[in-house]
């Protein structure tokens, strides 16, 4: 039997593998009917110990679109975790019921623990404020489709760069492409953690700028990646309330932006992008949602070793 592959961190995939997944995602998008039976008889379990709309439903939609089936739970309260069962025991159990597992957990590292116990591939659908590799694949497919490349881009990240796990994973992924410059836009308290800034950006000698002023850097950006302030990861509500509206993107603030900039957001959005921006051709966040389903179809095929 070949070794089981998991996706816990975006670095579990080589750049070549990421490029191949993006290419496969695009082929599936062009002809979904050709893939409609690829996972017939296979079962995906989605174990979500933390709330989700897009990630869980896009995994389920992806598996169903491949002809497979899905089972799972959408809140820890609906599982034996509520009785005190460990992640390790839950995963051993679910390995017996499914061919592949997608999980989300509020604790950093929980999917890694799960992968060590699982007898089927485990996909990290978000672990605390740490990583979110399938959102990154989604983001990369969207960038590829809108910009035609994953290299030579100035990418601005704005909002909660401390707790925003999608930001950490996307920085890790883009750091491996040529000609990427990062512009990190956040209030002092929500700056990227040092394990990202020092160990990824500085260690690789990548150009970056840190600022609190979104409008000042707007004209430079090819991509603007907006994020929500992660209320559930704050230690106190007061700090959240003070910081939650630090950045609100409006049509007015976009005046200095390039005409072909792309605005991304992993969603859910709270206040950080005014709905008046939704009709701007630069708004890419709903296309991003669509990409999420197709890139997850590509990932499921890869991890299950199903030939195209």
8 A C-beta contact, residue 244 and residue 176: no
State which of residues 6, 38, 42, 54 lies at the interface with ligand NCD (CB under 6 A): 54
CB of 68 to ligand NCD, least distance (A): 21
Do residues 195 and 228 make contact, with C-beta atoms less than 8 angstroms apart?
Answer: no
126 binds ligand NCD, rule: CB under 6 A: yes
Q: Which of these ranges, 66-74, 211-219, 262-270, 295-303, lies near ligand NCD under the rule CB under 6 A?
A: 262-270
56 binds ligand NCD (CB under 6 A): no
Does residue 280 sit in helix, strand or coil?
coil
Q: Please report where in the chains the tokens 């999980």 appear, as a residue.
A: 103
Q: 269-295 b/e with 16+ CB inside 10 Å = b?
A: beebbeeebeeeebbbbeebbebbbbb
How many other CB atoms are there within 10 angstroms of residue 296's CB atom?
29
d(CA 267, CA 275): 13
| Contact flags string 76-115 toward ligand NCD, x per CB under 6 A | ----------------------------------------
Say whether residue 228 binds ligand NCD (CB under 6 A).
Answer: yes
Tell me the residue number closest to ligand NCD, measured at CB. 266
Size of the site for ligand NCD (CB under 6 A): 11
Choose between 12 and 260: whose C-beta lies nearer to ligand NCD: 12
- Interface with ligand NCD, residue 266, by CB under 6 A: yes
With CB under 6 A as the contact rule, the residue among 132, 146, 162, 168 that binds ligand NCD is 132
Residue with Cβ nearer ligand NCD (87 or 289)? 289
Contact between 244 and ligand NCD per CB under 6 A:
no
**Neighbour-count burial for 22-53, b at 16+ CB within 10 Å, e otherwise:** bebbbebbeeeeebeebbeebbbbbbbbbebe
Q: Which residues bind ligand NCD (CB under 6 A)?
A: 54-55, 126, 132, 135, 165-166, 228, 266-268
């Amino acid at each position: 039997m070949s070794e089981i592959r998991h996706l816990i961190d975006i670095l579990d995939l080589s750049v070549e593998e990421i490029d191949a997944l993006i290419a496969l995602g695009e082929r599936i998008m062009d002809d979904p009917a050709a893939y409609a039976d690829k996972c017939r008889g296979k079962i995906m379990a989605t174990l979500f110990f933390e709330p989700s709309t897009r990630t869980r439903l896009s995994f389920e939609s992806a598996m169903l679109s491949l002809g497979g089936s899905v089972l799972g739970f959408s809140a820890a309260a609906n599982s034996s975790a509520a009785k005190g069962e460990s992640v390790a025991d839950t995963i051993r159990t679910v390995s017996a019921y499914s061919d592949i597992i997608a999980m989300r957990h509020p604790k950093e590292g929980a999917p890694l623990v799960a992968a060590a116990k699982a007898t089927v591939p485990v996909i990290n659908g978000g672990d605390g404020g740490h990583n979110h590799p399938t959102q990154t694949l989604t983001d990369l497919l969207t960038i590829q489709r809108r910009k035609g490349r994953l290299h030579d881009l100035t990418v601005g990240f704005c909002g909660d760069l401390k707790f925003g796990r999608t930001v950490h994973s996307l920085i890790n992924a883009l750091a491996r492409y040529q000609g990427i410059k990062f512009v990190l836009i956040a209030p002092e308290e929500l700056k990227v953690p040092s394990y990202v800034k020092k160990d990824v950006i500085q260690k690789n000698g990548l150009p970056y700028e840190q600022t609190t002023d979104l409008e000042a850097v707007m004209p430079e950006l090819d991509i603007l990646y907006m994020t929500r302030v992660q209320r559930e990861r704050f230690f106190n509500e007061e700090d959240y309330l003070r910081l939650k509206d630090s950045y609100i993107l409006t049509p007015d603030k976009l005046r200095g932006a390039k005409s072909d900039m792309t605005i991304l957001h992993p969603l859910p959005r709270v206040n950080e992008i005014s709905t008046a921006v939704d009709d701007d051709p630069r708004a890419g966040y709903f296309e991003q949602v669509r990409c999420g389903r197709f890139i997850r179809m590509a990932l499921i095929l890869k991890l299950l070793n199903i030939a195209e």
